Structure 1
Amino acid sequence: MAAFAEVSDLEARWRPLSTAEDATAEVLLLDAATMIRAECPDVDARLEAAPPTLDPNIPLMISCAMVKRAMLAGTGSDAVSQTSQTAGPFSQQVTYANPMGNLYLTKAERKLLGCSQQKAFMVDMGPYEEPGATPLNWWELNL
């Protein structure tokens, strides 16, 4: 399967990448597309439907955001989610948002893709009744 975004899409949304970063970004964009398809198995069908039921820019935008988060890991202040400093006796603490550089979908991204929607269903726990038959009363059941 193909990626939803290309390296040029990532560069347009973030910054120009070096040659080494281009290769990494290309692999991560394929991984991001695979993860999106695993989380939302119907995404390709919704993109190819006539008319499409999912805007093609949504998976593209989310793929770029996922790769950007992964590539930012440990690179500076953009990757930091919390920082703390103390003047005496010299304490500093930094917490990274994605220290391992993992690809992941946020709750908002799952909602945009339409794969986090709750679905209602019903399970009939009673005995099977023939259509049109008189319903059984609870005391008539052989418990």
Structure 2
Amino acid sequence: MATPFATLEDLRLHWSELPAEREADAEQKLAEASIILRALYSGIDAKIASGQVDSDVVKLIVCRMVKRSLLAAINDVEGVATRNETAGGVSMGISFSNPNGNLYLTKDDKNLLGGGRRGKAFMIVPGFP
């Protein structure tokens, strides 16, 4: 297995509130997030080595993926997608954005890796008769 793009120490620097009891899960998820990136972006290791992709960007994305996953498992407020409250009938509903703690890339993550339209503006020139 290839070396993960980020270490537990990198994750701690990114997320200082990482619970100590979740560190074993975090290390496994760092490896899994790296596997996902390598599967989705073939040749990413070579692109990092050649300087086409910044290794710090990849490290950041892996840390963000793991943090999102672990927050979902902890049911932290940051992972809440919707929250409904009603005072009169005393009702409350919460839905979590990632209830299973899956590792995933956000649109921002994909843009950082060059998968978005950032910097790729286009223009439509109307035809003349």
Identity %: 36
More helix by percentage: 2
Distance 1:38 1:114 in 2: 16
Distance 2:115 2:77 in 1: 32
Q: Alpha-carbon deviations, 1:10-39, whole Å to 9, x = none?
A: 111112434431111000000000000111
Partner of 1:28: 29
Provide the secondary structure at the position in 1 that maps to 2:92.
Answer: strand
| Structure 2 gap segments, 5+ residues each | 118-129
Partner of 1:54: 53
Aligned length: 115
Larger Rg: 1
Answer whether contact 1:40 1:115 (CA < 8 A) is retained.
no
C-alpha RMSD over aligned residues: 1.6
Within 5 Å, which residues of 2 pair with 1:98-113?
98-113=98-113
Distance 1:116 1:35, change over 3 A: farther
CA drift at 1:107 = 2.0
Provide the secondary structure at the position in 1 that maps to 2:83.
Answer: strand
Q: Alpha-carbon deviations, 1:58-98, whole Å to 9, x = none?
A: 11000000000000015221111211100121110111111
| Structure 1 gap segments, 5+ residues each | 118-143
